[in-house]
Structure 1
Amino acid sequence: MSGPQPHRGLPPELLADTEWQQACRRRDFAQVVRLVRIRAGIYPSRIAALCGMTPSRVGEIISGRRGLAHIDVIERVADGLRIPGAMLGLAHRPWEIPAAAMTTRHRFPPQVSEGADRAAEPDTTAGPESRSDLDDLLLLADGKVTRSALSALQSSVEDYWRRDDRHGGASLRPAVVGHLRYVSQLMHSADGSLRHDLQSLAAELARLAGWACFDARQYSTARTYFTQALRLCHGQDDHLFMANVLSCMSLQATYDGKPCDAVALACKAQDTARAAGEQPLVMSMLHMREAFAHATLRDAPACHQAIDRSRDAYEDARGRVAEAPSWIRYFDETKLIVDTGIALAKLGEVTRAEPLIAEGLRRETTAQQRGRAFHAFWLATAQLQQGRLDAACHSAGLALDLSASLDSPRIAGHVADFHRLLAPHARETPVIAFEQHMREVLG
């Protein structure tokens, strides 16, 4: 008698389902397994066999009595159920990449979508362009790199940043760190301009890894990756990139309770950016980083001066956004307004801060999910400090709704901070309703 047939992949319609995607982003394996059972018809005993678990453990996962935290077990579940790595914040799994080209009748495997496992269905329409893409992919598997493969890697980094902005960076860490290690290995087998570009890509991946760790509130690890990014770009005379890394380190130091370090890093970033020539939009952002640090120190004169310099630099940048690096273009008028409000809120000037944060939140797009959640919490805090309990709980409820699809421990920190501020009002009706909302959203 033949053994059980191997699992070929989950239904494409399940992988495209919003409920499924949110469960994967949250790593809510109770919901993931329930959906696999209901929507894919795979019973718990089969799930256990595919994932190398006991049926009783799968039952505990379904009931919510047991979670999955260890990365090795999560990878085993991804491989056993054929869940694309990106959905769980992992690197691409080995089975997602075709191992070799099919030579029969010059057929080649189609590109695997972020859903179905279709390697058994050869694409008879593949032309020269798809052949080139596949050759580049196979060269990458051999530890070599081409210009077009480098472009593909750069596109992956851009996609990581988009996902970080929309869903938080914590779940991206394994995939980003995997890419960083891989690109670092490729650097050893490249030379000339290709090696230079790989080194720049590795530096950007290190900055992204640092940012993802920062969003996960792993500040020491974040600093290590940011330092690696500075080392990788050393000698390349990319002063603006160095200034960007230093600005990230300044913001992290502010969160980490080291505002004096944050001031020093922001000022160093400004000096570094000046070496690249006139970049007013970059300088506007860097002055605001300095303002945050001064606000944390409760140094009102220095904070107001930094805010004024940020606003003046932004006025100089008007009409010249196209000259600015692409990574700074997020710092628009809306961002300037809301960051000014946050700096003032940190100072305790909540009456001035509230309308600025509210206006920034009103202007922001739905794509800026994490930013809007942060800003809604800051708005709630400013309202609470003015004694406006109803408005504060309403704004915090908006922040909770925005954070439902985010994997950002920094957001969780803001939730906890705001909840502590509500303690003196625990018996008030708006607070009771807000806490019920918290239980519904956060489980």
Structure 2
Amino acid sequence: MSAPASGATVEIPAWAWERTEIHEALRERDAGAILRFAQQYGGASQSRIATATGLLQGRVNEIVRGRRSVVRIDVFERIALGLGMPDAARMLMGLAPLRFSGHGPRDLLEHPQVAAIARTKPEAGSEITSLAATAETVDVIGVRALGMLALGDSLLRGPLIREGRDSIAHVRVLLLHPDSPAVARIAEEIGETPRFLAASLRFSEDLLGEMAELGTVRLEVYRYRTPPVWRMIRLDATVFASVIGCRSDARTSLVYRLTPTPPGCLSYGFDRLFAATLGDAERAI
């Protein structure tokens, strides 16, 4: 379906699309509430909405008054185009985002679930430590997690045990099993001997055990045996992920920040990854 003619789109401020009531209306596909929203925040008359959406003014009036419901997807598409609906709002209503229409190389990077891309691990680190200071649930998939949690100056340890936290965080950590066949593969990728990597995995468990004894976090540590692919930190609903084994400089490899923006497929995928890895793991602490 083509977009409205130039100048026909109802102008609605970007901040208005973030309001809770319009999110509810979009999820429920409540066309009447959506059009009333356009009247309130876009200052649009029913005639103006009719022109923008290509609907008859009489039909717009019936929809606004709740006398007619909308069920056809092509009508919702007309409404979305006529109101200049942003992609996040379109997806809440079950419509495809417009930005993917060209299938360009940057489309995935602009996907609303990929809220930001921290180009280096140090850049991502500042945001991770900030979120960790208030996170109630923390899930980690690592190899040995020395720099993520185990060491005293690691990324998460300080903010998770700081004084003045409102609550004790529940932390679950998945580490590579020191006896896993994957140890040899990972050791080769990072330039270590399998024996040294296995020993450092046990050392990490010892450090995490000491952390658990402090009682400053509710800590659970598990061992998995499958070859790891993603390094992941989930702070409440926000996920930070990077590839394990990428041969680029560890300080310059990309860290992806994901939030559960509808339809939430990317975040759901990492939720399943953690659950599946945890389900096959054995508890160490």
Give the TM interval when normalised to the shorter protein: 0.3 to 0.5
State TM-score, norm by structure 2: 0.36
Q: Which has the higher contact order (CA 8 A, sep 6+)?
A: 2
Question: Which structure has more helix as a fraction of its residues?
Answer: 1
